[in-house]
Chains A and B, each alone.
Chain A
């Protein structure tokens, strides 16, 4: 498939390292945030979400941190694997079922 993630910030890590991907959001009224993973030629895949009444949420190998004071989100991936290589997007939900996306970060994992 074609690439839709050209000229993105890139994070390169070694297999087994922990990865941290950061994101700034814009709307202080947003109360729901989602991280998506997008592999080449595919649609965004849900990873983890967090609501504004929380500052941390953990999933399997992933943790999302929310800092509402500075409107910042981060996604931490533990023990990164080559299969984690993809573009990662944060998205905020400003209302209804609509999303405003960040620009994305490309994660490259070397064996």
Chain B
């Protein structure tokens, strides 16, 4: 069974641009969540989707958004990029609440 797949793995963007990151969950998993990881703040929850509905959202500005498609694949978007958005963005999937949550390898975003 394939794991959680994230694309792209590495990308460099300029301040003010926007970026879209993609995540394909493990087959059969309907919950997809996103996390930001930085050296200073550690792993922080961004948002979680289940069956195309956002169920929970972390404490991030509105520049961070996401969506989930009917096939459970998910995308997250960051608009008007700032230097501080440089981070590893991790996607995780799960069959549903209370089940094991598995992570992808992440997308490394560098904002210059």
Contacts and interface: CB of A to CB of B under 8 A. Distances in A.
Interface residues of A, number: 30
B97 A95 contact: yes
A96 B105 contact: no
Given A6-B39, A7-B39, A89-B43, A97 B108 contact: no
Contacts of A103: 42
Contacts of A34: 100-101
Interface residues of B, number: 31
A32 interface: yes
A99 B106 contact: no
A104 B39 contact: no
Interface stretch (B61-69, B75-83, B88-96): B88-96
B99 A4 contact: no
A43 B106 contact: yes
A100 B50 CA distance: 18
Contact of B42 (A1, A96, A97, A104): A104
Contact of A101 (B38, B42, B50, B97): B42
B48 A97 contact: yes
A97 B32 CA distance: 8
A73 to B, nearest CB: 16
A97 B43 contact: no
Instruction: Please name the 6 residue pairs, one residue from A and one from B, whose CB atoms are nearest each other, closest first.
Output: A97-B31, A101-B43, A43-B103, A6-B39, A97-B94, A43-B105
